């Protein structure tokens, strides 16, 4: 049964990537963005590099388990785990840095990518819920009449809330991307609004949902027994507010 669940996880991940790629491609075509193949090449590179950073972060926070055995570091099948927030932030940063050489306003493309990214997180959440449902069903059949562990139920509920959160975030970003240029408070006395509003909202939403829900699941990052997950998610949310403030045309430092 464990092999079947692992196969399903891999298959669902591939399907999620394909559907997300289609969502992004359709958005780029609709906005008549040139060099779509170049954008996807950069996405693949940024995703691969950010995955490595996310994995290394997980290894460092669980060094007592991995030790200095490099084979354990790279054996994702036997020792799965990744720090998602590190992977996400590194991926967005790399994507933006690499796009700057190709597009004058690279942040506009990052806006489109973050919409697709919220959809990807939504799909991955659905896959996680399906996997947990099959595990719960298996336990119910194997242990007839047994009560399921409370941790499994709590984790399942949090997973469902994550799916709902990312679904709402995707719908919100898709809708606000069409209208944010008309927000007078965002334009800050400018004739037209700058891009970056969608990126900021994504970071705020991701950080807010993660901060609230991280209190109800085991911490993935701990230092001396202190869980860092809520702190990191709070910092991501604050980063979103900073991006929103700066891209609105204002400055954190007074300029004459």
224 inside domain: yes
CA distance 209 to 52: 25
252 inside domain: no
Instruction: Provide the Cα torsion 44, 38, 40, 33; round to 10°.
Output: 150
Domain count, the chain: 1
How much is the pLDDT for 170? 94
255 inside domain: no
256 inside domain: no
For the chain, the 3-state helix, strand and coil shares in percent, each to the nearest 5, are 75, 0, 25
For 140, the token pair is: 């119910």
What is the CB-side half-sphere exposure of residue 183 using CA atoms within 13 A? 16
What is the CB-side half-sphere exposure of residue 19 using CA atoms within 13 A? 13
Return the higher-pLDDT residue of 4 and 103: 103
57 inside domain: yes
199 inside domain: yes
CA distance 190 to 188: 5
254 inside domain: no
How much is the pLDDT for 255? 45
24 inside domain: yes
Q: Look at the pTM and tell me if it is higher than 0.75.
A: yes
Domain that holds residue 31: 2-247
How much is the pLDDT for 76? 74
Residues 164-189: tens digit of each pLDDT: 999 999 999 998 888 877 776 776 66
| pLDDT at residue 250 tops 70 | no
């Amino acid at each position: 049964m464990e092999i079947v669940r692992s196969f399903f996880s891999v298959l669902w991940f591939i399907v999620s990537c394909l559907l997300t790629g289609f969502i992004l491609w359709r958005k780029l075509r609709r906005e008549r963005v040139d060099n779509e193949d170049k954008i996807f090449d950069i996405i693949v590179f940024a995703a691969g590099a950010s995955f490595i950073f996310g994995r290394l972060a997980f290894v460092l926070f669980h060094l007592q388990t991995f030790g200095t055995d490099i084979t354990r570091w790279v054996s994702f099948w036997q020792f799965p785990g990744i720090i998602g927030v590190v992977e996400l932030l590194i991926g967005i940063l790399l994507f933006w840095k690499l796009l700057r050489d190709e597009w004058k306003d690279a942040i506009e493309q990052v806006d489109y990518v973050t919409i697709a990214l919220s959809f990807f997180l939504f799909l991955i959440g659905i896959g996680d819920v399906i996997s947990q449902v099959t595990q719960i069903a298996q336990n119910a059949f194997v242990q007839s009449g047994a009560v399921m562990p409370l941790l499994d139920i709590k984790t399942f509920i949090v997973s469902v809330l994550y799916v709902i959160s990312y679904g709402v975030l995707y719908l919100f970003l898709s809708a606000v991307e069409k209208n944010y240029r008309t927000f007078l408070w965002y334009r800050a006395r400018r004739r037209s609004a700058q891009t970056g509003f969608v990126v900021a909202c994504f970071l705020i939403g991701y950080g807010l949902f993660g901060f609230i829900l991280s209190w109800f699941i085991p911490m993935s990052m701990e230092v001396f027994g202190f869980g860092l997950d809520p702190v990191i998610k709070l910092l991501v949310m604050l980063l979103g507010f900073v991006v929103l403030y700066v891209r609105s045309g204002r400055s954190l430092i007074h300029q004459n």
